[in-house]
């Protein structure tokens, strides 16, 4: 049997190497793909990975090639991570510059030369835009866009004149949180704040549900907070993706307590900043904003107090002038009144000096008249009384018993007692009959009534 023509494997791989190197050796390509099977060797600063393209509908792998990066490429990856906050790891979609290389010992692979930072940041921005569009589209009753500014139910809330009772959502290990507390606790005005902590992990998009749960816990507490503060320290762009979460920002937009953010970014705003009532750059700025807000209220009170003092002095000066005028009027009126009364007193004193003589003279005349009248009245009174007495004497003389006896009348006594009725006088009764000139003792023989009826005795 004839031997089949053959070559060594190394000869074949050498031909493949020459062919590929001849076609791709001086060329580079910008490729969009997902990273999988990533491994990093820090001691050698080597990255090993695979680049994969999948069908979006079925997730079926359409293409896959191994890749590596070292030297300047590894430095470019590190710069990419710093700029985006996104680690070079599995399941990220990247735009990378690669060169095709075939090595007879290791096979076909891609050497990563560079990675496009703007592509990844653009993906973040595209996700952000899609989230904002969805928030506006699905929540028109409490999220709207007016003149390029997002207006929400939360941003329309009125801040209390004093912000003192504060709920805080943050990580308990965050340096920004401790800066926030230190700024409040050591404010130069001595303002006191009541802080309730609701700790949560505030980085990593997967922890958005934890922050949302704490937001709900603040609402369920029923406490009358003046504001809810959401803070974290600085970080990369990737660290802030948690605050671009749709569900979290929907809750922020409709939350009934004013929300103030201090997320620690210096450049781009998060969606949470757009949905909240007030946004600041850092946790320290939130604390300074709270202090400044309360200081503004105190300044307004001080200004009002000063205005009241000035107004009081103005009123006092005005009333002082009125009092001075009134005092002068009182002095003048009193002086005139005193002069008038002085004249009256002088006139009265003159009258007092002259009138007593006239009065005494008149009273003397009155007394003389009274004495004369008394004398005249006494004389007439005694004459009248003498007449009355004479009349009574005549009546007495006429009515005297002796005078009556002289007229032929008699007085009958029984047992020494005068009787004028014979009803009780019986026959044989002894009686004394007194006449004008004699007194007769007698005894009753019989008795006859004056009307002619005769008693039987």
To the nearest whole number, what is the mean pLDDT of the chain? 85
- Helical H segments across 57-197, by residue range: 72-84, 117-138, 175-185
CA–CA distance from 351 to each of 359, 363, 364 (Å)? 11, 17, 19
> What is the average pLDDT across 333-348?
82
**Domain containing 38 — which CATH number?**
2.40.50.140
Would you say residue 403 has pLDDT above 50?
A: yes
Q: Verify that 170 and 284 share a domain, yes or no.
A: yes
Residue after which a domain boundary falls, among 296, 321, 343: 296
Would you say residue 344 has pLDDT above 60?
A: yes
pLDDT of residue 457: 31
Cα–Cα dist 262/203, whole Å = 14
Cα–Cα dist 290/161, whole Å = 11
Q: Which residue has the tokens 């700024």?
A: 183
Q: Verify that 219 and 141 share a domain, yes or no.
A: yes
Is 270 part of a structural domain of the chain? yes
Element holding 48 (H helix, E strand): strand 46-54
pLDDT of residue 453: 47
DSSP-derived pairing of the beta strands 227-231 and 165-170: parallel
Is 244 part of a structural domain of the chain? yes
Q: Which residues pair with 112 in a beta bridge?
A: 98
**Residue 229: closest CA among 207, 199, 187:** 199
Residue after which a domain boundary falls, among 296, 316, 342: 296
Residue after which a domain boundary falls, among 278, 296, 314: 296
Q: Verify that 236 and 187 share a domain, yes or no.
A: yes
Q: What are phi and psi of 323, to 5 degrees?
A: -65, -40
Per DSSP, the three-state class of 261 is strand
> What is the average pLDDT across 301-307?
88
pLDDT of residue 238: 61
Q: Verify that 71 and 144 share a domain, yes or no.
A: no
Per DSSP, the three-state class of 52 is strand
Q: Verify that 177 and 69 share a domain, yes or no.
A: no
Please, which pLDDT band fits residue 190 given cuts at 50, 70 and 90?
A: very high
Between residues 63 and 447, the one the model is more confident about: 63
Cα–Cα dist 376/72, whole Å = 161
Q: Verify that 80 and 161 share a domain, yes or no.
A: no
Asked if 109 and 65 count as a contact pair (C-beta separation under 8 A), the reply is: yes
- Domain hosting 159: range is 125-296
Its pTM stands at 0.55
> What is the average pLDDT across 316-333?
81
Would you say residue 85 has pLDDT above 80?
A: no
* DSSP 8-state class, residue 188: T
Cα–Cα dist 251/211, whole Å = 11
pLDDT digits (tens, 9 = 90+) for 149-158: 999 999 999 9
Q: Verify that 143 and 282 share a domain, yes or no.
A: yes
Is 359 part of a structural domain of the chain? no
Is 257 part of a structural domain of the chain? yes
Q: Verify that 143 and 235 share a domain, yes or no.
A: yes
Percent of the chain predicted with pLDDT > 70: 93
* Domains of the chain: total: 3
Q: Verify that 40 and 92 share a domain, yes or no.
A: yes
Distance of CA 189 to the CA centre of its chain: 23
Is 349 part of a structural domain of the chain? no
Would you say residue 195 has pLDDT above 90?
A: yes
Using left for φ > 0, alpha for ψ between -120 and 50, and beta otherwise, residue 91 falls in left
Please, which pLDDT band fits residue 235 given cuts at 50, 70 and 90?
A: low
Q: What are phi and psi of 169, to 5 degrees?
A: -105, 120
**Domain containing 271 — which CATH number?**
3.40.50.280
**Residue 169: closest CA among 262, 305, 78:** 262
Between residues 230 and 388, the one the model is more confident about: 230
Is 66 part of a structural domain of the chain? yes
Q: Verify that 217 and 155 share a domain, yes or no.
A: yes
Is 389 part of a structural domain of the chain? no
Q: Verify that 69 and 133 share a domain, yes or no.
A: no
Please, which pLDDT band fits residue 455 given cuts at 50, 70 and 90?
A: very low
Would you say residue 227 has pLDDT above 50?
A: yes
pLDDT of residue 157: 95
> What is the average pLDDT across 81-96?
82
Is 198 part of a structural domain of the chain? yes
Per DSSP, the three-state class of 81 is helix
Instruction: Please state at what angle helix 117-138 crosses helix 72-84, rounded to 10 degrees.
Output: 20
pLDDT of residue 454: 44
Between residues 200 and 287, the one the model is more confident about: 287
Would you say residue 122 has pLDDT above 80?
A: no
Q: Verify that 106 and 140 share a domain, yes or no.
A: no
Q: Which residues pair with 102 in a beta bridge?
A: 108
The encoded tokens of residue 86 equal 């996104």
Choose from 15-29, 179-193, 252-266, 389-403 the range with maximum mean pLDDT: 179-193
CA–CA distance from 173 to each of 178, 218, 280 (Å)? 8, 20, 20
Out of 297-311, 343-357, 378-392, least confident range = 343-357
């Amino acid at each position: 049997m004839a031997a089949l023509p053959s070559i060594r494997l190394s000869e074949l791989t050498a031909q493949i190497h020459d062919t590929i190197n001849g076609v791709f050796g001086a060329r580079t390509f910008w490729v969009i793909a997902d990273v999988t099977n990533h491994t990093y060797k820090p001691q050698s600063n080597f990255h090993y990975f695979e680049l994969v393209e999948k069908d979006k509908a079925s997730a079926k792998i359409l293409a896959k090639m191994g890749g590596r990066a070292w030297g300047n490429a590894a430095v470019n990856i590190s710069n990419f991570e710093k700029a985006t906050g996104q680690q070079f790891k599995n399941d990220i979609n990247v735009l990378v510059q690669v060169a095709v290389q075939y090595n007879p010992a290791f096979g076909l692979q891609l050497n990563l030369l560079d990675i496009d930072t703007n592509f990844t940041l653009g993906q973040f921005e595209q996700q952000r835009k899609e989230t904002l569009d969805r928030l506006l589209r699905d929540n028109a009753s409490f999220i709207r866009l007016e003149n390029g500014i997002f207006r929400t139910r939360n941003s329309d809330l009125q801040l209390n004149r004093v912000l003192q009772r504060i709920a805080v959502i943050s990580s308990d290990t965050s340096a920004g949180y401790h800066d926030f507390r230190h700024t409040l606790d050591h404010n130069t005005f001595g303002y006191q704040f009541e802080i309730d902590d609701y700790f949560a992990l505030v980085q990593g998009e997967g922890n958005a549900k934890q922050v949302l749960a704490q937001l709900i816990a603040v609402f369920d507490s029923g406490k009358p907070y003046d504001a809810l503060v959401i803070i974290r320290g600085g970080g990369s762009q990737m660290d802030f993706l948690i605050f671009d979460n749709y569900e979290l920002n929907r809750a922020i937009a409709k939350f009934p307590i004013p929300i103030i953010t201090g997320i620690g970014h210096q450049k781009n705003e998060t969606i949470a900043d757009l949905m909240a009532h007030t946004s600041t750059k850092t946790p320290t700025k939130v604390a300074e904003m709270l202090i400044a807000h309360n200081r503004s209220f105190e300044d307004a009170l001080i200004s009002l107090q000063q205005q009241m003092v000035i107004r009081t002095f103005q009123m006092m000066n005005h009333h002082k002038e009125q009092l001075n005028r009134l005092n002068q009027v009182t002095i003048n009126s009193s002086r005139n009144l005193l002069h008038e009364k002085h004249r009256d007193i002088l006139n009265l004193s003159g009258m007092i000096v002259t009138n007593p003589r006239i009065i005494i003279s008149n009273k003397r005349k009155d007394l003389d008249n009274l004495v004369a009248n008394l004398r005249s009245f006494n004389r007439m009174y005694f004459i009248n009384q003498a007449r009355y007495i004479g009349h009574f004497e005549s009546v007495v003389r006429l009515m005297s018993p002796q005078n009556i006896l002289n007229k032929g009348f008699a007085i009958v006594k029984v047992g020494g007692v005068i009787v004028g009725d014979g009803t009780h006088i019986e026959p044989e009764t002894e009686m004394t009959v007194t006449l004008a000139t004699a007194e007769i003792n007698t005894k009753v023989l019989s008795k006859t009534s004056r009307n002619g009826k005769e008693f039987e005795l």
